[in-house]
Amino acid sequence: MQSNKKNWGVVGGGVLGMKVAMQLAKEGYKVTLYESAPVIGGLASAWQIDEVVWDKFYHVILLSDSYTRDLIKEIGLEDKARWVETKTGFYTGGKLYSMSNSFEFLKFPPLSIIDKLRLGFTIFYASKIRDWKKLEKVYVADWLKKLSGKNTFKKMWLPLLRSKLGEHYTDTSAAFIWATIQRMYAARNSGLKKEMFGYIDGGYATILQAFEKRLIDLGVEIKTGARLQKLKSGQNSIDSSFDGGFQASHDRVILTIPSAFVPGSVDQMPETEQLKHKGIRYLGVVCTSVLMDKPISPYYVTNITDEGAPFTGVIEMTALVDKDQLGGRHLIYLPKYVAPNDPIFDEADEVIEKRFLDAIFQMYPHISKEHIVAVKTARAKNVFALSTIGYSEHLPPKKSAVPGVYVVNSAHITNGTLNVNESLKLAGDAVNEILNTN
């Protein structure tokens, strides 16, 4: 029955490529998954810092992440999920404030009561909007100033936008903030009005291991250390060459790698399609993990509204994750989101780490050098696509003009923020779409 079923190659072994491979294998296709790194998992993968193995970039699961939770169930990890009520902090005017409930919000000093009402209204209004395409036509700064007022924009929204987008917020549409608010609203609305965040015992290392096993059980062949160099679509097959000189041949290939790498991998792609990939503007991240012997705060996320901090937020993983998971240590992440050509990517780890730690010692006077157990810095240049004006109208097609070649990557997330739940949803929808039109 399967004899005439196509043989698929999936390039890129992040969670998106893994889900694509899983879905195709479940449909009975023969699938090979290629990942350039030595392990699969991409941005969600884990690494070791000192004695601790945890996510290279901080990851949290929301109660409303139904696709992630379905996957967790499917790979047998449901009983390893831990749900915790977390707190949010704000560092503003050189002080740390809790902003974890409405009462604390009302007490928050930098905003007047009118400003707060307008801020609350903006969030509520955004949570009710369904036609996000309209928001793609308006700059986020203009939209927020109009709804929240100039003072709230300057004191609240601007630092938050800068924290995720740097100065690129000026090119970003209101769809970005809409998607962010939708995600947080869904999280708080999923039954409990509290901010419940989750993780799996052992972090993403556990998820990826079980996910990989599921793929192998489904018959997916996984090749790591396999960086695609070029693929060529011929009359009967698509021939791919990988670093290290090995070749592979498939009936169909789906690329799940960032658009920045697509034109260089597929010479036959028409220029108009290549330009669409090149037109996607990615933001990257430099993210320093710091392992300590004591906590710095009770907050999972601390937003920083003061200008001049070298990083754009503080994520205290051990405000969510039990420290027993981390050998009794406390783990914080210091991310800075920047464009792929930002000079920070040329700086040595030690230079970045010294700057970041000096700022931590200043912001949290109870923390000093002797509390630091280990520091390690991760970098990724193509993390998420900037939601520019009219973004969804300029997207590259999933079905390439090159016969048998498809591209599905996180740039195709048009009405959501980048997170594993959206990546899994996109993968599932895209495979259905591709198989229905194939």
Ligand X SMILES: Cc1cc2nc3c(=O)[nH]c(=O)nc-3n(C[C@H](O)[C@H](O)[C@H](O)COP(=O)(O)OP(=O)(O)OC[C@H]3O[C@@H](n4cnc5c(N)ncnc54)[C@H](O)[C@@H]3O)c2cc1C
Residues that bind ligand X (CB under 6 A): 11-17, 34-37, 42-44, 57-60, 227-228, 256-257, 261, 285, 287, 335, 380, 383, 409-410, 418-421, 423
Q: Looking at beta carbons only, is 16 or 332 nearer to ligand X?
A: 16
Between 9 and 149, CB nearer to ligand X:
9
Which is closer to ligand X, CB of 175 or CB of 420? 420
Whether 283 and 338 have beta carbons less than 8 Å apart is answered as yes
Nearer to ligand X, 58 or 176 (CB): 58
> Shortest distance, CB of residue 96 to ligand X, whole angstroms?
22
User: What is the chain's length?
Assistant: 438
Distance separating alpha carbons of residues 212 and 220, to the nearest angstrom: 9
Structure-block tokens of residue 35:
């990942």
Q: Are 248 and 417 in contact (CB under 8 A)?
A: no
Q: How far apart are CA 65 and CA 419, in angstroms?
A: 9
Of 237, 283, 231, residue with least CA distance to 260: 283
Provide the minimum distance between the beta carbon of 112 and ligand X in the complex, in angstroms, as a whole number: 32
Q: Which is nearer to ligand X, 152 or 233 (CB)?
A: 233
Residue 113 CB, nearest distance to ligand X (Å)?
A: 32
What is the smallest separation between the CB atom of 323 and ligand X, expressed in angstroms? Answer: 19
Least CB distance to ligand X at residue 394 (A): 19
Cα gap 132→388, rounded to integer Å: 13
Q: Which is nearer to ligand X, 141 or 222 (CB)?
A: 222
**CB 41 → ligand X: shortest distance, Å?**
7
53 Cβ neighbours under 8 A, 6+ residues apart = 46, 47, 202, 203, 205
The per-residue DSSP string of 138-172 comes to SBHHHHHHHHH-HHHIIIIIHHHHHHHHGGGGGGB
**Contact between residue 290 and residue 352 where contact means Cβ atoms under 8 Å apart:** no
Q: How far is the CB of 355 from ligand X (least distance, A)?
A: 18
Single-letter amino acid, residue 269: M
Q: Which is nearer to ligand X, 256 or 318 (CB)?
A: 256
Q: The tokens of 299 are what?
A: 């907050």
Task: Rounding to the nearest 10 degrees, give the CA dihedral for residues 174, 123, 153, 61.
Answer: -80
